[in-house]
Amino acid sequence: MGTVIRLYQCFLKWGFTLRMPTKTNIMTSILKLTLHPFDLSQIPALHEACWPEVPFDHILDLLSNIVRRCEAGRAWALTALQGGEPVGFGQLSRWTKEAEISDLVVSVYCRSQGIGTALISGLLDIARQQGFREVEIGVAEANSRALALYERLGFEIKRRIEADIGNGIETVLYLRLVLTGQEAT
Ligand SMILES: CC(C)(COP(=O)(O)OP(=O)(O)OC[C@H]1O[C@@H](n2cnc3c(N)ncnc32)[C@H](O)[C@@H]1OP(=O)(O)O)[C@@H](O)C(=O)NCCC(=O)NCCS
């Protein structure tokens, strides 16, 4: 019985350790990152990795809608896989003349390793292939890390509006990048 309890304690300790960001960062940094077109089979794993706090039905609606837009040629979505597991997501949407990157997210345990940059880079490649000259991205002014990332990649603030993007009315900045072929590398 004592052995079983000790094994269980080891399991709990190991399970907890696996969830610590520092350990996970070490593990994920040695696993290969690849970008793939998003497909419906990735939804459960993406939900667990990227939006665990959001009800599954909400993410199912969001991603099903994105699939419909992709099938209609109005959007392109990428999933970042590390060691075969989804760790990030982002989409590029076609508006009348412009393209917009949105719904960019990286698993909380895998941030600050360049995955967000890789996703933006992949989406900008698609924008170039589709003939867009500019890409827009919106971000809450309070989201200083995402804002710093976009500015580091060359996006410039073009306009600001007051809007509700999920956390009540707040200042939302729209940044734009003119595509020259050198961005987000
Ligand atoms: C914004 C986001 C997608 C960036 O992804 P990422 O994989 O961490 O981005 P990268 O590793 O390519 O680089 C981000 C840069 O910002 C920093 N950074 C970004 N998010 C960070 C975080 N949560 N914690 C610490 N640093 C962060 C990184 O250190 C890095 O800086 P550096 O280039 O000087 O090293 C990610 O933080 C995220 O999913 N945030 C929650 C959802 C969100 O805000 N989405 C954007 C909505 S507009």
Residue 76 φ then ψ, to 5°: -135, 130
Summarised one tens digit per residue, pLDDT across range 119-153 is: 999 999 999 999 999 999 999 999 999 999 999 99
The ligand 1 atom nearest the CA atom of 111: 8
The ligand 1 atom nearest the CA atom of 146: 1
Complete DSSP assignment for 127-138 = HHHTT-SEEEEE
**Per-domain residue ranges for the chain?**
1-30, 31-178
**Cβ atoms 78, 36 nearer than 8 A:** yes
Average of per-residue pLDDT across 80-109: 95
How far apart (Å, rounded) are the C-alpha atoms in residues 172 and 184?
A: 22
46 Cα to the center of ligand 1, angstroms: 17
Helix axes 144-152, 115-129, angle to 10 degrees: 50
The ligand 1 atom nearest the CA atom of 112: 11
Question: Which residue type sits at 20?
Answer: M
Summarised one tens digit per residue, pLDDT across range 24-43 is: 454 555 679 999 999 999 99
In this structure, the residue with its CA closest to atom 30 of ligand 1 is: 112
Range among 2-11, 93-102, 144-153, 163-172 with highest mean pLDDT value: 144-153
Q: What is the fold of 31-178?
A: Aminopeptidase (3.40.630)
Q: Which residues contact 49 (CB under 8 A, 6 or more apart)?
A: 85, 86, 87, 88, 107
In this structure, the residue with its CA closest to atom 41 of ligand 1 is: 105
Of all residues in the chain, the percent with pLDDT exceeding 90 is 76
**Cβ atoms 119, 103 nearer than 8 A:** no
pTM: predicted TM-score of the whole model, two decimal places? 0.83
145 Cα to the center of ligand 1, angstroms: 6
